[in-house]
Structure 1
């Protein structure tokens, strides 16, 4: 029996990569082989040397087509089988392997916004809805927009076997969030990219688009982030490594913010539950800090931290790699592993 395999990869669009996909017909049960594509059409090659290679890295059931059809997440290689310059996954794999003994876990909160044309779903044409207040985790057709898409997306992610751990409506009309994890750096990043593809593909069936733009509505509206929860085994066992992790992230704050998603200065303004992009702080139960330590963690004296700075459009391969490298190297130097 023949099946459809949807090959999915990240392109070379700047300043934020887009997802691309195409279909290959395979024999059911066959291992998805490497494949190729025209890199000159995805901002990844010149027309006179346009071939790029797709290397499968994660295969899951396809909840859109159903049956035995599959989704195949790929990383992009050059034709000599070395990582393409746009391949951010390869470096993450190397860093994760280097610090594998510290057992890093991530939980990522992906915020996004449904759009109808140029306005968020729920915004009236030529005007604005009621101010923020009742939309977050709200209920009722006057405050919630797009729930049927959200529920279908959740079902699709679960059918695909992705480690989705929850959903909720966010603070602006048409704005939602799903959570991925806990999982390792590579697993959470691979799963987040697949969940994003499923989000776009699911919304497509409803005639609505979904965006991870960090500031989809200008003015007095919350932006969209991708809060990243992180821990190592030492942090899950003791409080001192959590404080050491916060200090290590603070020492490299500027470097991290520059790699946490395009347009971060539009979102991290010091308002709307954010710290200003140019300042670093951490605190217990403080959603206005760069890093929040949950109150339960402070009480239990062990657990994890939440980096609230990453944008909704961040590349999870880059963010997880940087957090593992910064924190794990610091804990290693301090003998806290």
Structure 2
């Protein structure tokens, strides 16, 4: 028996900082829980077929896109007769948007526009590709969850400032029943403390997945700069960047896809929920965004960093709405002022503190130049939305939402 915990309902909610109520398309924890074990397929049998020689005039291109939830990925694969030299050589494709909450059945075709291309770490032995795509409706307008289109325009406006992003993606590994991987069933492991950067069979859970993901991302050409076990048992983090402009967000989405595909092979779910365990004394999961432009990285750049923080302090409510797919509602479960977070209700900043909205790293304070860390984005954030609003506030002095 399989229970689908993909709640798909409309709720009326008062938005953060607003006196009006609006209808929001609300997605809670995306979990498919199996009450009985799903039999693992024999990888040795699979490998027999994957080892078959791939025709020299055929490659496989896996098109990947963000669905109507704004946080889940979908993919499908096509055969091509030529290795593309660049993304412009890839053709547009279509999918059934009525099955991904991006169209209605009467007009269900949604366009896939290739946006970025990477090496495929799953089907080896040929020059196969992973293709990250934008989604466009029947009128060839960006769909509601295509935030890349506007983000790309914003990044082009400040390209001369050389914006760099480092994105710290936290995630939680779950069994098929939705309980954290390695935890005793219907019970808790030992309290937080030994798990952060932990070593040992009772401290580090499922390191095999983490190491496989690390190598696969590097093979695909991603700027994955590090990884570590996080504070909650079975929670991990990796870092993308520093990477310039739109490429940082492109790479984060592809890294999420690679992680979930590897989880498939091990029979383990990957959750980006910002507060996977609301009962007990456990940390949530974020996607901290490190940001700088060239003037911040030059000697004396701390002045520019402090100017940026001052601008951010006046737009707390707006930024919170951009930092998870539910306009801030998911993140209120995580940003409580506890467990290394600031409260979503107020803006704070400090050097070296992890209990603030914006952290200036100790090294940056000492060297008086570098970057700042925005600790507010949720683990399930759309990085296009996060990086876009950061640039609009800090670099473009935008007053828009």
Higher relative contact order (CA 8 A, sep 6+): 1
Shift of 1:182: 0.7
| Structure 1 residue 134: Cα displacement | 0.3
Q: Provide the C-alpha distance between the structure 2 equivalents of 1:288 and 1:200, rounded to a whole number of angstroms.
A: 30
Question: 2:326 aligned with 1:265, yes or no?
Answer: no
Which residue of the partner structure matches residue 3 of structure 1?
59
CA distance in 2, matches of 1:321, 1:37: 27
Report the Cα offset of residue 190 of structure 1.
0.4
Instruction: Give the one of 134, 138, 141 matched to 1:75.
Output: 134
1:41 alignment partner, one of 99, 119, 130: 99
* CA drift at 1:82: 2.6
CA contact (8 A) 1:224 1:312 kept: yes
Deviations 1:16-46 (A, max 9, x none): 4310000101113143211011111110111
**TM-score using structure 2 length:** 0.80
Cα distance, 1:85 vs. partner? 2.5
Aligned counterparts of 1:119 and 1:106: Cα–Cα separation in 2: 33
Q: Give structure 1 stretches of 5+ with no counterpart.
A: 332-337
Partner of 1:198: 258
Q: Which residue of 2 aligns with 1:223?
A: 284
Counterparts of 1:1-337 in structure 2, within 5 Å, are 1-13=57-69, 16-30=70-84, 31-66=89-124, 67-116=126-175, 117-218=177-278, 219-237=280-298, 238-261=301-324, 262=326, 263-330=330-397
Secondary structure (helix, strand or coil) at the match of 1:329 reads coil
Alpha-carbon distance in structure 2 between the residues aligned to 1:283 and 1:101? 29
1:329 shift after superposition: 2.0
Shifted more, 266-275 versus 98-107: the winner is 98-107
Structure 2 unaligned runs (5+)?
Answer: 1-56
Q: How many residues were matched structurally?
A: 329
SS of equivalent residue, structure 1 residue 314: coil
Kindly provide the CA deviation profile for residues 279-307 of structure 1, in whole angstroms up to 9, marking residues without a partner as x: 10111111111100011111111110000
Residue 335 of structure 1 aligns with which residue?
Answer: none
Q: What is the Cα deviation at residue 101 of structure 1?
A: 1.9
Assess if the C-alpha contact under 8 Å between 1:292 and 1:308 holds in 2. yes
Measure, in 1, the Cα distance between the counterparts of 2:98 and 2:137.
13
Please list the CA deviations of residues 288-328 of structure 1 after superposition, one character each: whole Å capped at 9, or x if unmatched. 11100011111111110000000000000000000011000
The answer (yes or no) to whether the contact 2:162–2:245 under 8 Å persists in 1 is no
Taking the aligned partners of 2:349 and 2:120, their CA distance within structure 1 comes to: 41
RMSD: 1.2
